[in-house]
Structure 1
Amino acid sequence: MDSPFVEVADRVWVSRRPWLDANVTAIGGDDGLLLVDTHGSRSAGEDVAAGVRGLGAGPLLGVVNTHWHFDHTFGNGAVLAALGPVPVHAHETALAEFTAFAAEARTTRAVAGHPESEGYHEEVAATELHAPDHTFASVRVLDLGGRLVELVHPGRGHTGGDVVVNVADADVLVAGDLVEQSGAPCYGEDSWPLEWPLALDTVLGMLRPSAVVVPGHGAPVDREFVQDQRAAVGIVAETIRDLAARGVRQSDALAAAQWPYLPEGLVHAVARGYEHLPRSQKRLPLI
């Protein structure tokens, strides 16, 4: 098995995968398990399924995809083939994004955007896609038997269809890529940089001081870490607004301000932020 599941709270196990440092989480109830994310390929999903089976914590009851990206969804088919047909839950926008973009994400060009995926291109390209098939708009509650788990769409941030998974009785929240520990938050071509801080405000409202937060990538963190990351993504959003309001050209924005993250990681944040700002909040570029 590539990476074992480690129990981080009562019947909540996290497998931190070496490839992309991505997390897969298993949540147990009296009736069986809920799996959150399935990693990035058929073979990765097969390894995840072996790990779930090794827990001996009951049958798989369902899968949740925290968003559509390949490193969280491309293991869906392998997991279901190994552990049985179960519902795959996701936000309705995540399904629309998966339908629109997942096939392209199998190509070398798309996966090449992740340097850590060197050597995995053929594996990803050969993966058969299995889309989420149970969607919701705002909140869904799943009963695992003696344990209720909340699936919540806190707003748009990393993607338009982000979902967090709240295990209230265990004081654990699985945040997907709305929170990242192994690096800076990833602003991609489908991110919502101006709304990301508001989504994290919703997440923070769900967390007690003692909460364990499982990020999309990296080690579990606490509420203070999420607060700090919310402050940083808030600075990104407000800096974009300020620059646009002062008439700074988008092409000049990265060099025109102090940023909380390396500018090269904010190219899409600036482009998407300028795109999403209403015209009333933009001035004509300074000459």
Structure 2
Amino acid sequence: MDIGWEEFGWERLADGVGRRRLPVWDATVGLVVGEEGVLLYDTGSTLREGAELRSQIQAMTGRRVTHIALSHPHFDHVLGSAVFSGARVYGAVGVDGVLRADREGLRLDAVRQGVSEHDAVEAVDVLVLPHHLVSGEWTLDLGGRQVLLANVGPGHTGHDLAVLVPGSPEVVFCGDLVEESGEPQAGPDAIPSRWPAALDRLMALGGEEAVYVPGHGAVVDAAFVRTQRDELARRFAVS
């Protein structure tokens, strides 16, 4: 089921597990393929980007996306969701309220970062809210493969959701709790005092031998996550 992934710009991390670094903002989306279900982690920054992902996934796997996990409520990670008709959408508890209440802020942020006004309005108008909210951990059975959704935040935002894919190696999709291509961004919705603890939970989830997939940048190991955790603790004077 992995044949041809690289041709579409996807990086394979394990059997049936991969990710793609999207253009412009270098945001990562993750893919986990089971015998019965297909999970997409984040959906891109516009409906057009989401539609491209949908087409690629169907071409690579012959399957439709059945589950979506949203890492956090920023435009470059959620605005492509509406194109995945019928998919069950998961997010950290409370993320639905943020997306419902701050559609205008989401649109403004997208436009400020370079999304066209038309594309931003179009995506926000049909914004999909999560159907299932994760307060602790939630195991999904994709058929022959289970994945764990974990609410490990707050940190980068108040609503950070990670995904653990057991296997050899174990793969942890981190969202923007971890960034490799630049310094982690602490916007107005970040909770800096809680961020190091969120990374502690992330490392406890994956362990020393896991592959960690940042929201932006190259795949890293536990040592990188630990170093970033310590840098964030110093930056925000957290013990």
Cα distance in 2 for residues equivalent to 1:58 and 1:123: 27
Q: Describe how 1:36-47 pairs up with structure 2 within 5 A.
A: 36-47=41-52
In the alignment, residue 88 of structure 2 is paired with which amino acid? Answer: P
Q: Describe how 1:156-167 pairs up with structure 2 within 5 A.
A: 156-167=154-165
Residue among 53, 61, 68 paired with 1:56? 61
Cα distance in 2 for residues equivalent to 1:126 and 1:144: 31
Residue number in structure 2 paired with 1:168? 166
Residue number in structure 2 paired with 1:132? 130
In the alignment, residue 47 of structure 1 is paired with which amino acid? Answer: E
TM-score by length of 1: 0.76
Residue number in structure 2 paired with 1:23? 28
Q: Which has the higher strand share?
A: 2
TM-score by length of 2: 0.90
* Segment drifting more, 229-238 vs 189-198: 229-238
Q: Deviations over 1:190-211 (max 9, x none)?
A: 0000000000011111223321
Residue number in structure 2 paired with 1:93? 94
Residue among 132, 144, 147 paired with 1:146? 144
Q: Secondary structure at the match of 1:129?
A: coil
Residue number in structure 1 paired with 2:3? none
Residue number in structure 1 paired with 2:4? none
Gaps of 5+ in 1: 242-287
Q: Describe how 1:74-89 pairs up with structure 2 within 5 A.
A: 74-80=79-85, 85-89=86-90
Bigger RCO of structures 1 and 2 (CA < 8 A, at least 6 apart): 2
Q: Deviations over 1:169-220 (max 9, x none)?
A: 2410000010011111110110000000000011111223321111111111
Q: Tell me by how many angstroms 1:112 deviates.
A: 4.8
Cα distance in 1 for residues equivalent to 2:185 and 2:112: 11
Cα distance in 2 for residues equivalent to 1:5 and 1:122: 28
Q: Is the 8 A contact 1:3 1:16 kept in 2?
A: no
Q: Which has the higher helix share?
A: 1
Cα distance in 1 for residues equivalent to 2:237 and 2:81: 37
Q: Percent identity?
A: 32
Residue number in structure 2 paired with 1:72? 77
Q: Tell me by how many angstroms 1:44 deviates.
A: 0.9
Q: Is the 8 A contact 1:5 1:51 kept in 2?
A: no
Q: Tell me by how many angstroms 1:49 deviates.
A: 0.6
Q: Deviations over 1:133-160 (max 9, x none)?
A: 1112111110011111000011210111
Cα distance in 1 for residues equivalent to 2:166 and 2:48: 32
In the alignment, residue 209 of structure 2 is paired with which amino acid? Answer: S
Q: Secondary structure at the match of 1:60?
A: coil
Q: CA 1:162–1:62 in 2, change beyond 3 Å: closer, same or farther?
A: same
Q: Secondary structure at the match of 1:38?
A: coil
Alignment of 1:202 with 2:207, yes or no, is no
Query: Between Structure 1 and Structure 2, whose CA radius of gyration is higher?
Result: 1
Aligned length: 231
Residue number in structure 1 paired with 2:236? 237
Alignment of 1:11 with 2:16, yes or no, is yes
Gaps of 5+ in 2: 1-6
Q: Is the 8 A contact 1:26 1:33 kept in 2?
A: yes
Q: CA 1:96–1:3 in 2, change beyond 3 Å: closer, same or farther?
A: farther
In the alignment, residue 60 of structure 1 is paired with which amino acid? Answer: V
Q: Secondary structure at the match of 1:25?
A: strand
Q: Tell me by how many angstroms 1:113 deviates.
A: 4.5
Residue among 102, 119, 128 paired with 1:123? 119
